[in-house]
Amino acid sequence: MRILLVGAGGVGGAFTAIAARRDFYEAIVVADYDLARAEKAAAADGRFVAAQVDASDADSVSALCREHGITHVMNAVDPVFTMPVFSGAFAAGADYLDMAMSLSKPHPELPYEQCGVKLGDEQFAVADDWVDAGRLALVGIGVEPGLSDVFARYAADHLFAEIDELGTRDGANLVVTDDDGNEIFAPSFSMWTTIEECLNPPVIWEAGRGWFTTAPFSEPEVFDFPEGIGPVECVNVEHEEVLLMPRWVDCRRATFKYGLGDEFINILRVLHTLGLDSTEKVRVKAASGGHCEVSPRDVVAAVLPDPATVGPRMRGKTCAGLWVTGTGKDADGNPTGPRSTYLYHVVDNTWTMTEYGHQCVVWQTAVNPVVALELLATGVWAGSGVLGPEAFDAVPFLDLLTAYGAPWGIREQ
C-alpha cells in the first residue's frame, strides 16, 4: 500500500504521527499546498516524503498519484476540495478515503423543509463508475462521520433486533486558554468546516419520508456525556452520518446533534448576520493601496488560532458517539424488549498531547482512517464503489481501534 495524504494541517499532522507507529504500508506521500507544512508532517517517519499539491485541481492530484505509484488517496483537506481530490484519485486508478463528503447546496425555495443537493450526492452519482473500475471510495471515515457509522453497523448486527433511531451525539468539555490562563474562543477543528455544517440546514431522515431539513440549531436537548464530561446542550447540525446510515442500516430515524454551547451558537449567528460565513469573494482594499478579492469565511478562519496549535493550551475531553434506541436482542438474535444504548469514544487532550503531540479533536478524527487503511491493507475490509463505513464489518475496526490504545465504550441509557 502506497498512500497519498492530501492535507498536512491539524488532522493530516495527527494522521502521520499515528501512522508512523504502524507497518501495514510501504510509503506515505504527505502533500499540501504549503510545502513547508508537508515537510514538517513528513518528518515523523523515514517512510514519508513531502510534496506540493493543489487540492483544487484534480489533475494535480492524479499527477502526484502517478508519480509515486499511489494505491490509496487519503483526503484530509476541507470539504470544498473533496470533489477534485476524489476525481483525481479515480483518474489515477487509486482507491480513495475521506472524512468529509462533497458539499450540499440548500433548496433554493424551501431550505428548512426540503433538501437541495445533499452531502455526498456528487460522489454517489458516480458510484457505478467506481464499481465498474473495481475501485473503492470509502467516504466519511473520520470520527464524525466515521466512528459513529461503525457504531451503527455494530448496533444493528449485535445489539438490536429493530432500531427506532440512530442519533449521533457529540460533545466535549474542552477549554482553551491564553498565555495568562484566561479562557478564549478557539475552535478545536477547522472553522471553515464548522461554519459550513452548523449554518447549513440540518438534515433528518425518517422511514417513509426520506431526507428532509430543519432550521439550524433546532430541537435542543441536554445529553449527559460519559467519563466526566457531563450534561451538554446539543442541537441539530448538518452532518454526513444522516446521509450515510440509512443507506446500509435499517432504522426508523437518523439524526445528528452536536454540543456547541450558547457562546459558539451566538458567534455563528453573528457571523451569518454580518455575511462573514459567505464563501463568495468580495473586493476589499489591500494594504498596498490596491484591491484584492477574498472570501469572508476564509478571513474568519485565518484570524482565529490554527486548531493544530491550540493543544498545549487546551484541557478536557471530547466525546463522539451514537445513541441507539429500539428493540434489543440476545446472543441468538431473539428480541429482548426496549433498549436504549450509547456507544461512544472519549479522548483526553492530556493523553493525546503526551503520547502524540497533537490535540485530542484532530487526533480522534485522524485515528479512524488509519485504522480503516490498515484493515484495507490486510484485506479484512474490501469492496468497490462509493461506500460508507456502515458497509463493512464493525468488529475488526473496533478491535483494532482498541489495539491502537483508544478503546471505545458502551452505556445503557
Residue where the block lists cell 471510495: 137
Confidence band (pLDDT; 50, 70, 90) for 189?
low
How far apart, in Å, are the Cα atoms of 404 and each of 19, 233, 313, 399?
A: 10, 31, 25, 9
From the list 34, 36, 28, the residue with the least C-alpha distance to 1 is 28
Residue 289 C-beta-side C-alpha neighbours within 13 Å: 0
- Distances, alpha carbon 87 to alpha carbons 195, 223, 361, in Å: 25, 39, 28
State the Rg of the chain over Cα: 21
- State residue 180's pLDDT score: 81
84-120 residue pLDDT tens: 999 999 999 999 999 999 999 999 999 999 999 999 9
* Per-residue pLDDT reduced to its tens digit, 227-271: 999 999 999 999 999 999 999 999 999 999 999 877 888 888 888
Q: Who's near 352: CB < 8 A, 6+ residues apart?
A: 311, 358, 359, 360, 363, 364
Give residue 197's pLDDT: 78
Each residue's pLDDT tens digit, 123-134: 999 999 999 999
- Judged against a pLDDT cut of 70, whether residue 381 lies above it is answered with yes
Highest mean pLDDT among 217-226, 264-273, 285-294: 217-226
**Mean pLDDT value of segment 373-390:** 98
CA distance 364 to 353: 12
- Residue 6: predicted pLDDT: 98
pLDDT band at 187 (very low <50, low <70, confident <90, very high): confident
pLDDT digits (tens, 9 = 90+) for 387-399: 999 999 999 999 9
- pLDDT tens digits, one per residue of 303-321: 887 777 887 888 999 999 9
Question: What is the mean predicted confidence (pLDDT) over 358-373?
Answer: 96
Query: Distance of CA 33 to CAs 13, 50, 56, 135, Å?
Result: 14, 11, 10, 26
Secondary structure (H, E, C), 249-299 = CCCCEEEEEECCCHHHHHHHHHHHHCCCCCCCCEEEECCCCCEEEECHHHH
- Percentage of the chain beyond pLDDT 90 is 79
Lowest mean pLDDT among 12-21, 57-66, 136-145, 194-203: 194-203
- Average pLDDT value for the chain: 94
How far, in whole angstroms, is CA 63 from its chain's centroid? 26
pLDDT at 272 (0 to 100): 87
184 has pLDDT over 80: no
In which band, very low, low, confident or very high, does the pLDDT at 3 lie, cut at 50, 70 and 90? Answer: very high
Q: Which domains occur in the chain, in start order?
A: 2-98 (3.40.50.720), 147-360 (3.30.360.10)
